[in-house]
Structure 1
Amino acid sequence: WYYFCWLSGDQITEQAIHHNDVINMVMGGPPISAYGSGGRMVRTDPKFGNIWDNMSIDFEYPGGVHLAHTNRHWENCDNRSENFVVGTIGESNGSGRITGKNPWIWEGEMVTPKEYEHWELVESIRNGQPRNDVLDFAADSTLTTIMGRESCYTGKVITWDEISNSDLDLLPKRLEFGPAPQRPVPIPGQPRLV
């Protein structure tokens, strides 16, 4: 499933979405555009389906703020999976430490976001106020990754309005048991948005 975009969304949607979640939260919403590139440098055999093995995307947020997003899946290479937020007077990688003009270190118990999320959900249910306030946020994060992927695949700047109004549908025409439909590897310069 991983190697087929219609199932995984490519590596940016399948894995890197969690980092886009955090940055969208820091920025207070999704980006306004994406300018991306990438390709297949290592996983070039047809057995690797139609996803890419590397992407680099400049996400622009309101106010002229830019996020440099990079991801790659290459065996036997150094890999990194983290966020870095750099401002004019400080920076953080989200690990409980801010460096710069106003340094700060979290001194409380280290709790993973997933643990905190579950505690909040359980408490809301126990208090008779169950909620699911992440639906819009999750949809925006997913659409952020799709916007970045489609910018890479097409070689074009994709705006939030364009991706929000797109009719792009990656689902095969017929879902049935048997050989998976073979789709070409995306080549920049060929349109995909409908």
Structure 2
Amino acid sequence: MGKPDENPKESERTLSRRDFIKGAGAAAVSLTVLPPGLVRGSQANSRIKLGIIGCGGRGTWIAKLFAEHGGYEITAGADYFAERAADLGAQLAVPGSRLFSGLSAYEQLLESGVEAVAIISPPYFHPEHAAAAVEKGVHVYLAKPIAVDAPGCRLIADLGRKAAQKSLCFLVDFQTRSNPFFVEAVERVHNGAIGDFVFGEGTYHAECPFEKWYEPLQSDPNNPEVRLRAWGLDRALSGDIITEQEIHVLDVANWIMGAPPLYAVGSGGLTARPKIGTCWDHFVVYYQYPGEVAVQFSGRQFKGHGTPEGLKNRMFGSKGVLETQYGGNVMIRGENYFRGGGTPQIYQEGAVNNIAAFHKSITSGDFSNTTVEPSVQSNLVTILGRKAAYEKRRVDWDEIMKDEERLTPDLEGLKD
């Protein structure tokens, strides 16, 4: 978990995991009565007992941000790898009796009395972990992407609604949507600042963050724990690079457009980096939106040899141009100039803002869960482009909304 490691108990557990999402959460999210301790309101000044599911690099990093907020108490940690859970415990004073490992570690964590969870596990596990949390009556803070396939996305959408019915908060952690410059710029565009949309561009150009796992995975490709540690090179565990990382850019593009695309065509492959793992190293996708507006996207994870990198969006309009860069400048050029500003600390500031929003929603009783729907849609946009590229054909939005294809990793050999 965290950058979890899950593992079934041989074939029986593997089968149950593979069948899990098929129920679309029907059994997993039955409407149970909330334990009295989770109904805050009058307890607004007490600290929320938080468990961390996924204690890898980002999991432990964000756990510290929760602790620094002051409104949370980190009371439990779960990760497939025991040493990761132990490291989180050592850094945040969580006793060993509340640190859990193995594929079922998240289940033990949910039985430990936590009131909320931060799910920072590999994306494949997100729907399963979130469903268990909602069933238990626990608030959910979920890392992106929410899922690796369309059935998983639909389950998360359902969980967001069920959480609201059970007076639970369910927040998806996208940094850009909580950044003041991004928010104001997109609002101005929606109010006509750049006129009629003409076309858009999006790029996510970077090197592969899992490069250190090339050699271990190549040397021992059948070791299930190595595959789990190198989850970003596994298509089923990560959703491939377009869903796991490039979603940041496609989310901004879809936010700007305010509606999903009609269809996509695309291309890509594993060409420039070593042929290790099952993920591609580049995607190029053409998205056709309503109103004859097209958005062209390109993303890569291989060495650029000094060419400019980054996460960038541009939307050209009849009166101006919106330019955004994750970690860079956000501005509007043209008739309605908006200087905007820089976002160099967006990675941390976005998480800090979302952590504060999550706490405020819980303590104020705001269970509207407004981040879920747009996050589901943006996740599906990445899957639309991925499918179009994989299958080298046009894929319509209506098709992806009904898509039943599931990505299922090989978890055999992992400990429960």
Length-normalised TM-score, structure 1: 0.80
2:288 equivalent among 60, 64, 73: 60
Measured in 1, the distance between the counterparts of 2:255 and 2:339 equals: 20
Measured in 2, the distance between the counterparts of 1:60 and 1:21 equals: 15
Which residue of the partner structure matches residue 363 of structure 2? 126
**Alignment pair present for 1:99 and 2:99:** no
Q: How do residues 72-111 of structure 1 correspond to structure 2 at under 5 angstroms?
A: 72-77=300-305, 78=307, 79-94=309-324, 95-106=329-340
Pairwise CA distance, 1:128: 2.7
Measured in 2, the distance between the counterparts of 1:87 and 1:70 equals: 20
The one-letter amino acid paired with 2:242 is I
Measured in 2, the distance between the counterparts of 1:74 and 1:107 equals: 29
**Alignment pair present for 1:170 and 2:407:** yes
Pairwise CA distance, 1:59: 0.7
Percent sequence identity over aligned pairs? 33
| Residues 151-187 of structure 1, C-alpha deviations (whole Å, 9 max, x = no match) | 0111101010111111111114x64216xxxxxxxxx
In structure 2, do the counterparts of structure 1 residues 117 and 86 end up closer, same or farther at CA, with 3 Å as the change threshold? farther
Whether contact under 8 Å (2:242, 2:386) holds in the other structure is yes
Instruction: Describe the SS at the equivalent of 2:256.
Output: helix
Q: How do residues 108-119 of structure 1 correspond to structure 2 at under 5 angstroms?
A: 112=346, 113-119=350-356
Give ranges in structure 2 of 5+ residues lacking alignment: 1-230
Measured in 1, the distance between the counterparts of 2:255 and 2:385 equals: 17
Pairwise CA distance, 1:108: 11
Whether contact under 8 Å (1:11, 1:53) holds in the other structure is yes
The one-letter amino acid paired with 2:354 is E
Which residue of the partner structure matches residue 4 of structure 1? 234
Pairwise CA distance, 1:107: 6.9
Question: Whose helix proportion is higher, 1 or 2?
Answer: 2
Which residue of the partner structure matches residue 119 of structure 2? none
Measured in 2, the distance between the counterparts of 1:109 and 1:69 equals: 22
Instruction: Describe the SS at the equivalent of 1:148.
Output: helix
In structure 2, do the counterparts of structure 1 residues 63 and 116 end up closer, same or farther at CA, with 3 Å as the change threshold? farther
In structure 2, do the counterparts of structure 1 residues 151 and 86 end up closer, same or farther at CA, with 3 Å as the change threshold? same
**Alignment pair present for 1:32 and 2:262:** yes
Measured in 2, the distance between the counterparts of 1:44 and 1:142 equals: 27
| Superposition RMSD in Å | 2.4
The one-letter amino acid paired with 2:286 is D
Which residue of the partner structure matches residue 49 of structure 1? 277
Pairwise CA distance, 1:14: 0.7
The one-letter amino acid paired with 2:398 is D
Which residue of the partner structure matches residue 151 of structure 1? 388
| Structure ranking higher on relative contact order (CA contacts 8 Å, 6+ apart) | 1
Aligned length: 175
Whether contact under 8 Å (2:320, 2:333) holds in the other structure is yes
Most deviating of 144-153 and 92-101: 92-101
Which residue of the partner structure matches residue 69 of structure 1? 297
Measured in 2, the distance between the counterparts of 1:36 and 1:108 equals: 32
Measured in 1, the distance between the counterparts of 2:259 and 2:353 equals: 21
| Residues 81-137 of structure 1, C-alpha deviations (whole Å, 9 max, x = no match) | 211122122112223311112211237999844444344333333333243212221
In structure 2, do the counterparts of structure 1 residues 125 and 97 end up closer, same or farther at CA, with 3 Å as the change threshold? same
Measured in 2, the distance between the counterparts of 1:61 and 1:121 equals: 32
Length-normalised TM-score, structure 2: 0.39
Give ranges in structure 1 of 5+ residues lacking alignment: 179-194
Which residue of the partner structure matches residue 379 of structure 2? 142
Pairwise CA distance, 1:69: 0.5
